[in-house]
Amino acid sequence: MPNLYWKNKDKFERSKTYKTQIFYPFQILESISSPPINKFIPNSELIQKNTEIIQTPQFKVNDWENLLIWGDNKDVMNSLIKKFSNKIKIIYIDPPFATGGDFKFKTLIGENDAFEINEAYSDAWKGGIDEYIDFLYERLVVMKELLAEDGSIYVHLDWHVSHYIKIVMDEIFGKENFRNEVIWAYPAASMRTRRFFIRSFDSILFYTKSSEYTFNDDPGIYMEYSDRVKFALKEDDKGIFYYRGGSHNGKKLSQKVYVTNKGIFPRDVWTDIPYIRANTLEYQGFSTQKPERLLRRIILASSNETDIVADFFCGSGTTLAVAEKLGRRWIGSDMTKHAINISRKRILDIYNSNDIINWEKKYKKNPNSFKILNVNKNLQDINTYDKFLVNNIQKGKKKTLFQDVKFEIKILKDNNNISIELIDYFVPNLDLVENKLKRKIQSFSDWIDSWTIDFISQNSYFNMMWISYRTPKNRKLDLTSDRYFYEKAGKYQISVKVIDILGNETSQEYEISIE
């Protein structure tokens, strides 16, 4: 079988990749119980044991909690191997495509639809295609180790590198385990060129770990009938049918053919799934965001309820949201704190999203419990993007921009009921911030993307008990929390955490007495 060679490939073969990697311990950053209490959930005016909220059944598999992990996915996956080797049923990844460009997200400010375009990540590789293949190869090897024997992996790419990665995956997974190159074709109305044919599709490479794999003939994966068939469909007392034509001896013949499905089993060219537009409910302001209906087809086909679904380039959290709605367990990770914040809010707000099976309806269920972890390495916690800063700032000074950020709260007490009001947010080094950003900040609350409260802070990690957050479709932020009812007298520690529009996180502790 032909193999692909690139600079530094030999070092992986000598090291046997994941077996010589360092395993970093996970640190819990935040725990979110089900159902979370927030401004979008009905009946959350008083947070106490007897609050009636629509519940989602909890997973009964080994006391499972879904995982959202911040860190380099190579470190994340190596640290997962001990517990999850051969256990993940489906891995979907949408890695960088080696385009050479910079990808953007929208930083929304306040309630007035004002925004700045920010850099989400750079897809330029100093070492060229060798460095890119190097990067993906070592991660794909670890993914194979994590994948269940009857599991599947889907790698989403485009014309830039799909031909290289196809050869790499033949080598890692075996060309006999290649199942499909799925073509996701979408309109490219904004593309203007007369120098080549307009590029308007992505490739999704579908491999399995072995010849025995899960693949479901599920009505939820079916493609719509063609317009010709849809227009020909009729209905009688026996059901829905169309006439199949033909002729014999010059006479036209027709036969009723009854259909039971609402579409056809999918081919490997998918033209029925639109890309994300800003006016859609699922839009997250993330330039590489993929549609939920794309992941619905993949997850329904290659997994069953309670199976583990993983996405190690989770971005805006599409895979995690779809897995949640389809009753799968999930693990997601991303290198950027911004992606973790978007995914966190997306899962918390899943009640208000589209129902994944009946798209025209709202989902109206709360998410299962999940934890936010990170690998115990040095990660950049302060997102000081150049676009927001005045020119020619020294690198050392950038780190000081949000070091001394503080916020002010007011504790509102009514017997055993406590609520918190957020009354100010201080950014002391505003001289480093561009005027065009400062002009958009009309109020201290315009700095705030979300804030959350742990009313009984007693762990090394944050236990989210109430939250208010902005979404692209709902910009309002509640500055006063719901009331929390303390059943017993005593002293309690309250922790309040604020995340601003640049993704910077500030926590403060307070002590209260309940008599």
CATH code, domain carrying 86 = 3.40.50.150
One domain for residues 277 and 327: yes
Residue 23 lies inside a defined structural domain of this protein: no
Q: Identify the helix (H) or strand (E) that includes residue 66.
A: strand 66-70
Mean pLDDT of 71-91: 95
One domain for residues 119 and 235: no
Which positions ≥6 away from 430 have C-beta within 8 Å?
Answer: 438
Predicted confidence (pLDDT) at residue 331 exceeds the cutoff of 90: yes
Predicted confidence (pLDDT) at residue 170 exceeds the cutoff of 90: yes
pLDDT at residue 241 in the model: 81
Mean pLDDT of 38-44: 46
Q: How many domains does the chain have?
A: 3
- CA–CA dist 348, 366 (Å, integer): 8
**Which domain does 254 fall in, by range?**
227-259
pLDDT at residue 188 in the model: 65
Give the domain CATH number at 400. Answer: 2.60.40.10
One domain for residues 330 and 477: no
Structure tokens at 466: 């109430």
- CA–CA dist 192, 175 (Å, integer): 37
Query: Domain boundary residue among 350, 375, 400?
Result: 375
The model's confidence at residue 82, banded by pLDDT at 50, 70 and 90, is: very high
Output Rg (C-alpha) for the chain, integer angstroms. Answer: 25
pLDDT at residue 338 in the model: 87
Q: Which amino acid is at 31?
A: S
One domain for residues 84 and 233: no
482 contacts 45 by C-beta, under 8 angstroms: yes
Give buried/exposed letters for 292-309 (b at 16+ CB in 10 A, else e): bbbbbbbbbbbbeeebbb
319 contacts 332 by C-beta, under 8 angstroms: yes
Q: What is the pLDDT of residues 263-273, one digit of tens each?
A: 889 999 999 99
pLDDT at residue 190 in the model: 61
Mean pLDDT of 340-369: 94
What mean pLDDT, rounded, does the chain reach?
85
- CA–CA dist 456, 509 (Å, integer): 11
pLDDT at residue 246 in the model: 62
pLDDT at residue 433 in the model: 80
One domain for residues 499 and 391: yes
Q: Find the helix packing angle between 128-146 and 73-84, rounded to 10°.
A: 20
Residue 323 lies inside a defined structural domain of this protein: yes
Q: Which of 13-27, 30-44, 286-300 tops mean pLDDT? A: 286-300
112 contacts 476 by C-beta, under 8 angstroms: no
One domain for residues 351 and 414: no
pLDDT at residue 47 in the model: 46
One domain for residues 130 and 273: yes
Residue 222 lies inside a defined structural domain of this protein: no
Q: What is the pLDDT of residues 352-364, one digit of tens each?
A: 999 999 999 999 9
Residue percentage of the chain with pLDDT more than 70: 82
- CA–CA dist 178, 173 (Å, integer): 8
Mean pLDDT of 148-158: 97
pLDDT at residue 192 in the model: 72
One domain for residues 300 and 421: no
One domain for residues 436 and 314: no
47 contacts 465 by C-beta, under 8 angstroms: yes
Residue 54 lies inside a defined structural domain of this protein: no
Mean pLDDT of 102-117: 75
Mean pLDDT of 193-203: 86
Residue 32 lies inside a defined structural domain of this protein: no
Query: Domain boundary residue among 356, 375, 394?
Result: 375
pLDDT at residue 382 in the model: 47
Residue 106 lies inside a defined structural domain of this protein: yes
Q: Which of 388, 314, 390, 322 is nearest to 359 (CA)?
A: 322
- CA–CA dist 466, 84 (Å, integer): 31
Mean pLDDT of 143-156: 98
Which positions ≥6 away from 271 have C-beta within 8 Å?
Answer: 185
Mean pLDDT of 407-411: 97
Residue 17 lies inside a defined structural domain of this protein: no
DSSP notation for 191-244: ---SSSPPP-EEEEEEEESSSS------GGGPBPPPHHHHHH-EEETTEEEEEE
Predicted confidence (pLDDT) at residue 189 exceeds the cutoff of 60: no
Q: Which of 407, 496, 445, 446 is nearest to 107 (CA)?
A: 446
Residue 429 lies inside a defined structural domain of this protein: yes
pLDDT at residue 14 in the model: 47
